[in-house]
Amino acid sequence: MEFKLVWSDEFDYEGKPDPAIWDYEVGNHGFGNNELQAYTNHEANAFVKDGILHIRGQKERNQDNLYTSAKLTTYGKKSFLYGKLDFSAKLPKGKGTWPAVWMLSDAMRQGVHWPECGEIDILEHIGRNEDQLHFSLHSKTYNHRLRNQYTSVHHIEGVTESFHDYSMVWLEDSVEFFVDGQSMAKFEKGMEGRESDEGAWPFNQPYYLMINLALGGFWGGELDKNCLPAELELKYIRFYEVVG
């Protein structure tokens, strides 16, 4: 199988993320998970320096209960359907940090509610379980509310200490996740006797990409304020279409 590079950010500039590539989701309403942070479009929370994208979660000065971070999105800029995503990332340390690189279908912005829209969790890390990585798919039929989502958890030493290479290969009937070139999980349509209707496998439509660092929340857990500021760092991110 061959792939062709069609989209990337090499972070070969300084300052705010490239507005031709990224937009921001902003707000402070818990995002369905009782998260603590307000997402902003401020450079203090998302910036490129020395060839690295920094997504920074921090406590705001002189405001005891205000935490800020950033969520970058490609919605309205670029959507994806089948191919390979590569990125190099260093994950934040600290209890209560919850970095993620993930995707929702464009249908989410067009009135189709979660989980019917589908969700692809390319990488999640919960700070209280350092070095434990989660790779998951959610759909109407299989999702975390039902506790039956497609998911796989792996312990990889040093993901908060140094950069590692992460990949996803997304085909019509499968999604596979890799760390440093090693396959971590492969989920296939209809695997293990699961239903394979649209409610079970909505991963056949355009999706947009998001990168964010959440703080706290139902899954993120109690936040250790002493770990702030915390950063999710990326060296590059690239998407390739299937050409053969």
Catalytic residues, by residue number, are 119, 124
What is the layout of strands, in order, in the sheet containing 97-105?
Answer: 23-24, 71-73, 207-215, 97-105, 119-125, 132-138, 150-155
Cis peptide before 17 (omega within 30 of 0): no
d(CA 53, CA 45): 10
Q: How many Cα atoms sit within 13 Å of 31 on the Cβ side?
A: 21
Do residues 229 and 102 make contact, with C-beta atoms less than 8 angstroms apart?
no
Q: How many Cα atoms sit within 13 Å of 224 on the Cβ side?
A: 12
3-state SS class at 225: helix
Do residues 87 and 240 make contact, with C-beta atoms less than 8 angstroms apart?
no
Do residues 131 and 160 make contact, with C-beta atoms less than 8 angstroms apart?
yes
d(CA 237, CA 221): 28
